[in-house]
Amino acid sequence: MKLTDSVSILPFVGPNYEGKLARLDVLTIEDLLLHIPNRYLDFSKVTDISNVKIGEIITIVGNISSLKNQITKSGKRMQIGQVEDSTGKITIAWFNQPFLIYTIPAGTKIAVSGEASWFAGKPAFFSPQFEKIEEGKDTLHTGRLVGIYSETAGLSSKWLKSRIKYTLDNIENNLDEFLPKEIIKKYLLVDYKKAIFDIHFPETVNSYVKAKERLAFNELLNLQLEAKRRKQILQKKKTNKLTVDKKEVDDFIKNLPFKLTNSQTKVVDEILTDLTNDIPMNRLLQGDVGSGKTVVSAIAALVTILNGLQVVLMAPTQILANQHYETINSLFNNLKIRIALITGTKIKKDIGRVDIFIGTHALLTKTKLFEKLGLIVIDEQHKFGVKQTEILTKSSKNKSPHILTMTATPIPRTIALNMLSDMDLSTLNEIPIGRIPIKTWLVPNEKRKNAYDWIGSQIKEFGSQAFVVCPLVEDSEKETMKDVKAVKSTFIELEHIFSKFKLGLLHGKLKESEKNKILDDFKKKKLNILVTTPVVEVGIDVPNATIMLIEASDRFGLAQLHQLRGRVGRGDKQSYCLLFTENESERVSQRLTALTTTSSGFELAELDLSLRGPGEVLGIKQHGFGNLKIASWSDTKLIRISSEVANKLI
Ligand code: ADP
Ligand code: MG
């Protein structure tokens, strides 16, 4: 059996189970072995039946003396019986598993693990873990530390464990150590094969801790090696060495409606230098919300186009792609530059040779249209993966295009340097001058009405516009119909409260044309209030909007709240962010209060790290900056060590 084999080669894994495993992202034998328990139960204490104490978590071993199906008074189907050893008898019971009387009939030797509770005045086990005792076989589910797997896809821990055990018994030498001995010794790592064994079937707490550390190390090491390999490949590639027409660029910058910040000027220099190199640029531009990344990318685009090459600008949402389309159109207003918008399967009109393709991931299916690609710009990179960038890069027939990736997600230095070593980093650490800091208020539930009154008066007196953002009902990436229902009901409520004003409703399930119309109406001030799901999170630019009201703000992470807040405060008027919450816990208020005191995305990211603790580095995990399965982005020590090793190995 090889690590790359499909799980379908395992006994008892037919199309049905294969599908269930696929939902856990388990496709291969290796995926299965790296699908690790999310907690462990300690069933290692084995006792005589006469010594069983209520409330203790223990294991007993004995013979089943009886087991039968029975209907309880409340109509539940129950399997009840007894186990005995030389010291006594104890009741065992399960619910809704009528087949059990056949799988473990009277006479079966069995181990039972769980917490004993009272039943008819005596100790008993309800729904315990159990397994048959067979000569010469170790127990997997009882009498030891037992791994419990997340059971989301309708796969029981017990089933998973038996498939993993079978795999380990048949894996031959495919888990042999691949690291040099000196490295294992120097960093006190556990042997690879032992780590895989121990993570699923640990003998002691220490053994799974060490196993997990080793597997986390492997995961980080692999990512770093991949990044280094990408860099090596990139450095061997030929690209179009561009020339910078200084006069054209200076004229363009002079004609902008604002003066570039020093930070923007510096970053533009870094990028233009890259473009004149003969190896392709691969640069990550990070800059807080509103730091002005778009215009920087427009300058890079201009240089590329002046060299007779094409540009692709990919954004994560239709709304954002549309907005970029408008922004780029107005920035290039006086130049003969042809811009195409591609957000669906159909292309609206044929405009002949295109200079800039702007769009969503729909661009990935339209690579045939690109003739001479010189530059790829990817906005809000956390929503795309390396693979998607590769599809675009490969679409270029001869020479490799330059790549500029932009993100508002602050990436801690250790991660940027080690994990993204194939990219050069530019940072916009300045917000354009003249911006008035946004006032952020935490609004307790009893002040809700006052807040609505205040918003009404702001609209009446100053013609203000407000966003009202509702969270998604469930923690999922995509919007569901439930979310639409929730946002609609808020919308209806608010229509009553703000009956004198015009309200719009925006959510992800609307047709593209409908979304555009609503956003357009909002931009043109035909609407006073826009009620929306977090689809507005990234990038939307409506300078006249000055109020951001966030419902159930405790449901969002700090980085996401910061992104949402960044939707206002873009013009020259005082802007406000109102955080509503019904959750009054200390932790929540500490987190939300942080937003009222700082406006720096970088500070908030650091704070989120300290408040939430390891494993939940916001803005990374939540924004899916490459999701880690076993390691944690906050484990800087392991990141450093694995980076040292990666450098030695490459
Ligand atoms: P982000 O970095 O979040 O993508 P944008 O590129 O959308 O930011 O820019 C935010 C707003 O700031 C836009 O309205 C843009 O026109 C404006 N802007 C960009 N650079 C400057 C500048 N140097 N001075 C003033 N406003 C600027
Ligand atoms: Mg942006």
Distance (Å, whole) CA 415 – CA 430: 22
Q: Which residue has a Cα nearest atom 18 of ligand 1?
A: 292
Best residue for ligand 1 mutational test, from 267, 294, 319, 435 (most atoms within 8 Å of Cβ):
294
Gap from CA of 504 to ligand 1 centroid (Å):
25
Task: DSSP for 336-401, please give it.
Answer: ---EEEE-SSS-----SS-SEEEESGGGGG-GGG-SSEEEEEESSGGGS-HHHHHHHHHTSSSSBP
Distance 405 CA to ligand 2 centre (A): 11
Q: Match 């770093």 to its residue by tokens.
A: 224
| Ligand 1 atom with minimal separation from the 260 CA | 23
Does ligand 1 have an atom closer than 6 angstroms to the CB of 331? no
Ligand 2 centroid–CA 179 distance in Å is 42
Q: Answer yes or no: is the C-beta of 142 below 6 A from any ligand 1 atom.
A: no
pLDDT of residue 381: 65
- Does residue 560 line the site of ligand 1, with CB under 6 A? no
Query: What single-letter DSSP state applies at residue 28?
Result: B
Q: 547 is written with which tokens?
A: 């109020």
Taking the centre of ligand 1 as the mean of its atom positions, its distance from the CA of residue 289, in whole angstroms, is 9
Cβ(417) – ligand 1 distance below 6 Å? no
Q: Whose CA is nearest to atom 10 of ligand 1?
A: 290
Query: pLDDT value at position 44?
Result: 85
* Residue count of the chain: 650
Closest by Cα among 201, 231, 222, 62 to 131: 62
Q: CB–CB of 245/303 below 8 Å? A: yes
At 228, give phi and psi (nearest 5°).
-65, -40
Q: In Å, how far are 292, 555, 563, 566 from 598, measured between CA atoms?
A: 20, 19, 13, 13
Calpha distance 164→198 (Å, rounded): 12
Task: Pinpoint the alpha helices (H) of 170-259.
Answer: 181-186, 192-200, 205-236, 246-254
Ligand 1 centre distance from Cα of residue 431 (Å): 8
Q: Which of 266, 267, 295 to mutate to test the pocket of ligand 1 (most atoms within 8 A of CB)?
A: 295
* Cα 615 from Cα 607, distance rounded (Å): 14
Q: Residue ranges of the chain with pLDDT lower than 70?
A: 152, 345-351, 381-385, 474-478, 537-539, 605-606, 608-627
Query: Could you tell me the sign of the dihedral formed by the alpha carbons of 519, 520, 523, 527, in that order?
Result: negative
The CA-CA-CA angle for residues 420, 387, 149, to 5°, reads: 85
Evaluate whether 224 touches 421 at the Cβ level (below 8 Å): yes
Could you tell me if the CB of 295 is within 6 A of ligand 1?
yes
Q: Which CATH superfamily is domain 261-428 in?
A: P-loop containing nucleotide triphosphate hydrolases (3.40.50.300)
Distance between Cα 379 and ligand 2 center (Å): 7
CB of 287 within 6 A of ligand 1: the answer is: yes
Q: CB neighbours (10 Å) of residue 93?
A: 18
Determine which residue's CA is closest to atom 9 belonging to ligand 1: 292
Domain 439-598 has CATH 2.30.40.10: no
Residue 290 in contact with ligand 1 by CB distance below 6 A? yes
Q: Which of 289, 291, 333 to mutate to test the pocket of ligand 1 (most atoms within 8 A of CB)?
A: 291
Rounded to whole angstroms, the Cα distance separating 528 from 461 reads 12
Give the C-alpha separation, 521 to 265, whole Å. Answer: 34
Q: Identify the nearest ligand to the CA of 296 by its number.
A: 1
- What are the residue ranges of CATH 2.40.50.140 in the chain? 40-148
**CATH 3.40.50.300 in the chain, residue ranges:** 261-428, 439-598
* 264 close to ligand 1 (CB < 6 Angstrom): yes
Any ligand 1 atom below 6 A from CB of 289: yes
Which ligand has its closest atom nearest to the C-alpha of 258?
A: 1
Asked if residue 21 lies in contact with residue 153, where contact means CB atoms within 8 angstroms, the answer is: yes
Q: What is the DSSP letter of 428?
A: E
* Nearest listed ligand to the Cα of residue 286: 1
Task: Kindly give the distance from the C-alpha atom of residue 464 to the centroid of ligand 1, in angstroms, as a whole number.
Answer: 20
Q: What was the pLDDT predicted at 481?
A: 79
Q: Does 291 contact ligand 1 (Cβ within 6 A)? A: yes
User: Do residues 379 and 315 touch, judged by C-beta distance below 8 A?
Assistant: yes
Ligand nearest to the CA of 265: 1
> Can you tell me which atom of ligand 1 is nearest the CA of 294?
6
Quick count: other Cβ atoms within 10 Å of Cβ 384?
19
pLDDT of residue 613: 44
DSSP 97: -
User: What fold characterizes domain 40-148?
Assistant: OB fold (Dihydrolipoamide Acetyltransferase, E2P) (2.40.50)
**Measured in angstroms, how far is the CA atom of residue 172 from the centroid of ligand 2?**
51
pLDDT at 349: 60
C-alpha 398, offset from chain centre: 34
Buried/exposed code over 99-136 (b: 16+ C-beta within 10 A; e: otherwise): ebbeebeeeeebbbbbebeeeeeebbbbebbbbebeee
570 lines ligand 1 (CB under 6 A): yes
**Nearest C-alpha neighbor of 364 from the set 326, 402, 403, 390:** 390
Q: 373: CA distance to ligand 1 center in Å?
A: 26
Give the residue from 203, 207, 208, 209 showing the smallest Cα distance to 43.
Answer: 203
In short, whether 260's Cβ falls inside 6 Å of ligand 1 is: yes
Q: Whose CA is nearest to atom 15 of ligand 1?
A: 292
Q: Is the CB of 294 under 6 A from ligand 1?
A: yes
Q: Residue 428 CA: which ligand 1 atom is closest?
A: 2
Cα of 359 vs centre of ligand 2, distance in Å, is: 14
Question: With a 6 A CB cut-off, is 286 part of the ligand 1 pocket?
Answer: no
Between CA 400 and CA 406, with CA 404 as vertex, the angle to 5 degrees is: 155
